[in-house]
A = this chain, B = another copy of it.
Amino acid sequence: MTYVGSSRLLPAAPRNARGQALEIIRQKIITLELAPGSQLSENELAGQLGLSRTPIRESLILLAEEQLVSVVPQVGTLVSPIVEAEIATSQFVRESLELAALSEAVDVVDAGQLADLNAVIAEQRVADERDDTELFFALDEHFHFALMNISQHGSAWRTVSQAKAHLDRARRLSLSLTQQMSTLIDQHQSIVDALAGGDSRAATDALRRHLRKVFDDIALIRADRPELFDPPASSRRR
């Protein structure tokens, strides 16, 4: 069982050209393969992906709605720079929704769901041993989705996932991701343990600690390398 591929875990992206383009470009932005602030071009992307401008353009419009790119009419499209305010908003949205969902999850969780969560954690241990950050991110997405899915509000995952995307992108700026994986996995375990114990307060506290750590790590990156954040003076070419 593998979780690679569509790391979005959402309504099976359509296999039409637009769906493919959207997923590819989105993933390249989140993984920083397309640098924040760098300029894009509908024509260029169309050439690279072997498609016409239409599906590319439609993808970019959706990514703009998600705030991952910024389209300036008649000028160009650029990968959104990583702005502190945007990160803070994403954190707020993610934290509020995940915590609210978890507090309801405690009362309805069943053994199978706990087993699933523990299974994901076990896989994350493997990803950690292998220093496989890509696998770790995919499993992290899966873990948090499974967590929300326990409550009746799994369909709000769409919203959480969009916020999480901004946070994950900023996280990837860190040079020491592999050193933090084990701590993060321990926190996942704490959440599941509290959930299994039926302790609502302990579970939400554990989740809050976890999410705050992610946020604080981003703040550390910013303190270390402020040039990676906020609007770039001039648009860098990719």
Contacts and interface: CB of A to CB of B under 8 A. Distances in A.
Given A16-B73, A73-B14, A153 B92 contact: yes
Contact of A155 (B16, B85, B156): B85
A4 interface: no
Nearest to A71: B14
Interface stretch (A58-66, A175-183, A197-205): A58-66
A34 interface: no
Interface string A140-157: 000000000000110110
Interface residues of A, number: 27
B89 A156 contact: yes
A194 interface: no
Contacts of A119: none
Interface of A: 14, 16, 18, 57-58, 61-62, 65, 73, 85-86, 88-89, 92-93, 95-97, 99-101, 152-153, 155-156, 159, 163
Given A16-B73, A57-B58, A96-B100, 5 more contacts: A65-B65, A86-B155, A89-B155, A93-B97, A96-B99
9 shortest interchain CB distances as A-B pairs: A96-B100, A89-B155, A92-B153, A96-B96, A89-B156, A93-B156, A96-B97, A92-B156, A58-B61
